[in-house]
Amino acid sequence: GNSVTQMEGPVTLSEEAFLTINCTYTATGYPSLFWYVQYPGEGLQLLLKATKADDKGSNKGFEATYRKETTSFHLEKGSVQVSDSAVYFCALSGSSNYKLTFGKGTLLTVNP
């Protein structure tokens, strides 16, 4: 079946530091890949997505590239802010249905 493995947290950074959260996946067919973010006390929001190999998703300064050869979708941001403190989830949906498979989540804390 499908699975997602993402970097275990927590991750603590200073403001303006570079962020990478690793995500690798196992799936059959051609999955779509997502990063969701959950701010404290809130539900999940879509951060970015990529639907085919070599696609780059981007939003709010975050980027991730769908790498089929390494089955990876790592999340990066060049300069994090305190407001980026949240839990980040990598997820995939199969090529034939809407079901999402999630990673375990990575808690990011950014200090001023």
**Where along the sequence are the contacts to other proteins (CB under 8 A)?**
32, 34, 36, 42-46, 49, 51, 89, 91, 93-100, 102-105
| Residue with smaller CB distance to other proteins, 45 or 111 | 45
| Residue with smaller CB distance to other proteins, 1 or 112 | 1
CB of 38 to other proteins, least distance (A): 8
Task: Tell the residue number behind the tokens 């949240």, with chain if given.
Answer: 86
| Residue with smaller CB distance to other proteins, 28 or 45 | 45
Instruction: Assess contact for 30 and 52: CB atoms under 8 A.
Output: yes
Instruction: Assess contact for 77 and 107: CB atoms under 8 A.
Output: no
**Beta-carbon count within 10 A of 58 CB:** 14
CB of 54 to other proteins, least distance (A): 15
| Beta strands at 32-38 and 86-93: parallel, antiparallel or unpaired | antiparallel
